[in-house]
Amino acid sequence: MKRLFVLFVLLATTVLAGAALAQAYPNRPVKVIVPWPPGQATDIAARVVAERLQNTLGQPFIIENKPGAGGSIGTDAVVKSAPDGYTILAASSGPVSIMPNLQGTPYDPLKDLAPVSLICMTPFALVTHPSFPAKNAREFIAELKANPGKYTFASSGTGATAHLFAELFNTLAGIEARHVPYKGTAPAVTDLLNGNVTYAVETVAATQSHIKSGKLKSFGVSTKTRSGAMPELPPLAEAAGLDYDAAAWIGYAAPPGTPREVLMRVSGEMQKALATQELKDRLISLGLDARSSTPDDMAAFMRREQERYGKIIRDANIKVEK
């Protein structure tokens, strides 16, 4: 009986200590490391959320850009930071879900990161030069099937998200086309606008202005639901009759061992902020769709994403120089 009482006291003390920690956090500025340059989608989304967290939690959430090596330098810096809740990572698909499958990283994202919450999903669109004769996604696929190897598709680089999503689309549609990798999204879209490549599966954010102006033709978006930024475009799953649902993601994560109470506190505030129409509209204006999660849900999501990207890379036999 005495032993049970002691255990009860210890448990109660732990719970109360955790609650006190969550209430006290944060009591000084929080650093949010963005492993990309300023102005990139992850950077912008991280700043939108940091601004709201600063207002609700009463301490500055300071963005620090630490780009390099496809996002792995900044990610690794967070992995090696003190697990006290005062260093947070603006996590994203590339360095967390893709690179471990493609090149290897000094960290294991499923073990070395403590998920906090998703921020948004980045939908992509299938786009061609306006001169391409197809009127819809089914006609586009039929034309490429009739001419295997004739047409080309652009991406922002070998192993980039745009490359993987295009390869997935090609596989599901049963088409063969030649990959033309570029050093970034801008040159890939420029050559598409000039008619030097046939098509691309690129972000809505990078293509929406060209689609609306008629400089690019789009047959649909990569997600099974319509994009908030371009609701007029049908999902390719519907337009092409494919089991196609692909989007890049952005979220917050922390170093391993960060107290659960801190993760839950930040996640809870993020979920409330991302449920507001104000933040949804702000992200939509950037070509992003708001999405939040609990730490546990984000952990499960990250596992699924890593497995999915691994399969795409293996099936398409994608390799990059290390």
d(CA 52, CA 46): 10
Whether the predicted model's global pTM rises above the 0.85 cut: yes
Instruction: Tell me: cis bond preceding 26? Omega within 30 of 0 counts.
Output: yes
Distance CA 73, CA 17 (A): 34
Q: Where are the beta strands (DSSP E) in 6-128?
A: 30-34, 61-65, 87-92, 114-128
* CA gap 29, 32 in Å, rounded: 10
Helix, strand, or coil (residue 191): helix
* pLDDT tens, residue by residue, 297-313: 999 999 999 999 999 99
User: Cβ(106)–Cβ(255) under 8 Å?
Assistant: no
pLDDT in tens, the chain (322 residues): 555 544 444 444 444 444 455 569 999 999 999 999 999 999 999 999 999 999 999 999 999 999 999 999 999 999 999 999 999 999 999 999 999 999 889 999 999 999 999 999 999 999 999 999 999 999 999 999 999 999 999 999 999 999 999 999 999 999 999 999 999 999 999 999 999 999 999 999 999 999 999 999 999 999 999 999 999 999 999 999 999 999 999 999 999 999 999 999 999 999 999 999 999 999 999 999 999 999 999 999 999 999 999 999 999 999 886 5
Q: Which residues pair with 32 in a beta bridge?
A: 63, 88
Which pLDDT does position 23 carry in this prediction? 67
Nearest to 134 by CA among 230, 209, 239: 239
Q: Cβ atoms within 10 A of the Cβ of 45, count?
A: 25
Backbone angles phi, psi at 282, to 5 degrees: -65, -40
pLDDT value at position 2? 52
Domains and CATH numbers, the chain: 28-121+249-315 (3.40.190.150), 123-239 (3.40.190.10)
Which residues on neighbouring strands pair with residue 250, listed in sequence order?
A: 92, 120
Report the pLDDT value the prediction gives residue 6, as an integer from 0 to 100. 42
pLDDT of residue 252: 98
